[in-house]
Structure 1
Amino acid sequence: MQKTLISLAFALGIAASSTAAAAECPSLPQGTGVEWQEAEGTNYKVCRAIDEAGTQLLGVMLTPEPQLKLRRRNRVEEGMVGRHEVHWYRPEIVEPGAAEKRVTVIELDDDRYAQIWLDANDPAQLKRAMHIARLMALY
């Protein structure tokens, strides 16, 4: 019995550690002209929404724990990602042209987080990226 419990615990541990990597990218809304480019590692999956011109508008990183430490002083606005209410933050490291970049973290489940970033070079791109994020099916 104890051997069975140890084996089960080990199997569950392996399953939990690979959950983020096995996760699917959230569904993108139709008609937005973007597609996912996907990459994954041992415990994460990265989904980048790329438009027809090859520009990345937003990204989602699915992980078992958040990698970002968001500071309240960098909070710039509220919004929605799918059905989740979020606070958008300016990234800590700001590069030239990064005034319209945003990041947030959403807890989806126990040991399941989505780190989301918007890559916008101007207010119009930011509005488009936020619209896509708002319509994205993220569970």
Structure 2
Amino acid sequence: MNCWRSRLILGVVFWLAMDIHAVVTADLPNTPAGMLIFHGSAAAVDFFLLWSTPWLLSGRLCTDMETLCLVSIVGNALGWALYLAYAPPVIYNTFMWGLSYVQWGRLLLPDRHAADYLGIDMVCGAAGRRG
């Protein structure tokens, strides 16, 4: 079971990664090379988050967070392709903010196993399927 501490620590790691990436890439030029650096480094940060998630979470929550990190990596690759296609940046920005909200929601909202604090499976549906 994933306790609130591990969820909180991973949430702080996600928040710091987003914040540090925003600060480091704030002065990149709006050129194809600059946007390749931006989207490539964002995908690298997502890969770091993908790598760090199993250290803090387990079970279905870990799998869901890893899947969302993979979606973010693909989203950053598509974001660079959209930039090269002269698409408006609102498409990429809206997708990434929406994905971030889904990640935060999945991380912070408890699932059916979160109510079983004692680990004795008194919650309906929890028996036999931990994680």
Give the structure, 1 or 2, with the largest relative contact order (CA under 8 Å, sep 6 or more). Answer: 2
Alignment TM-score, normalising by the size of structure 2: 0.27
Q: Which has the higher strand share?
A: 1
Q: Which has the higher helix share?
A: 2
